[in-house]
Amino acid sequence: MMISLLSSIALAASDDHWWGVGPLVGTMAFPVEYPVLMPPLAQDDDGNNLVAPVSGDLRAGGHAVYYLGGGARVGTRLWYGGNFSTWGAQELTLEYEAVLTKEDKFQILAGGGLGYGHERFGALDDAKNPDAYLDVTYFPLRAQIGALLRDRTRAYELDLFATLHVAGEQKFSRTGEVADEETGTAISLFDTDAKSDAALYGAVGAELSVYFGNFKNKGGNKDDGDSGGGKKKGKGKDKN
């Protein structure tokens, strides 16, 4: 289903423009513990965390791109992540990037995107209440720079990214002997009566994408170079 969603760009693609769709894997490298600042909503009166921060993760999903020509492209990525223990997340972003180089087979790209995501933090192993959870609905703001290597039908891209998750709703819940629930927003965006809890969800990391699609010029040879769109003007040269 996820691949079908990401393939929608490919179905609309023209032979005159580059496009690709395929899997991605990635991880956060900074901060050492995510989030940078845990909301008081998920802490006790002494400031101790009631849910576990993330110290290592793996994300996997799909990534699709479509080149507009003129040195720009649009894309979308959908990934699921976790640390195989107390944290899980899902995120969808829409992105725009500029092609900074037009070298044959190799590109440097930079851009950003925004989207929608949800993540859940589970309780610490030694917590008094093992059934504590923090659910965060957020809107990611993403900046990235990447390098792409391609042939006619495949491309390989490594991205370094920085992301800030703007929390919409933070919901802390506990079950067991003590059952309660509190809802807060980082800056009270959606509910003026909700408890406002300062939190900072930001990360820096890396992702690797592999694309399958069209990365050749219309009528080009095996060694053609392109900025992603338009017909070639003359033998072995780009339109752009």
Query: Residues for the chain: how many in total?
Result: 240
Containing structural domain, residue 84 = 2-214
Band (103; pLDDT cuts 50, 70, 90): confident
Please indicate, yes or no, if residue 45 is contained in any of the structural domains. yes
Band (13; pLDDT cuts 50, 70, 90): very low
User: Pick from 140, 143, 135: which is nearest to 109 by CA?
Assistant: 143
Please indicate, yes or no, if residue 6 is contained in any of the structural domains. yes
Cβ(80)–Cβ(60) under 8 Å? yes
Please indicate, yes or no, if residue 228 is contained in any of the structural domains. no
Query: pLDDT digit string (tens) for 157-173?
Result: 999 999 999 988 888 88
pTM for this model (two decimals) = 0.78
Calpha distance 235→111 (Å, rounded):
31
Write the DSSP assignment of 73-122 as a string of letters: EEEEEEEEEE-SSSEEEEEEEEEEEEE---BTTEEEEEEEEEEEEEEEEE
Please indicate, yes or no, if residue 237 is contained in any of the structural domains. no
Please indicate, yes or no, if residue 91 is contained in any of the structural domains. yes
Question: In this prediction, what percent of the chain has a pLDDT beyond 90?
Answer: 44
Band (116; pLDDT cuts 50, 70, 90): very high
Please indicate, yes or no, if residue 208 is contained in any of the structural domains. yes
Please indicate, yes or no, if residue 62 is contained in any of the structural domains. yes
Q: How many structural domains is the chain composed of?
A: 1
Band (2; pLDDT cuts 50, 70, 90): very low
| Sole residue written with tokens 């195989």 | 84
Cβ(150)–Cβ(156) under 8 Å? yes
CATH of the domain at 35: 2.40.160.20
Please indicate, yes or no, if residue 240 is contained in any of the structural domains. no
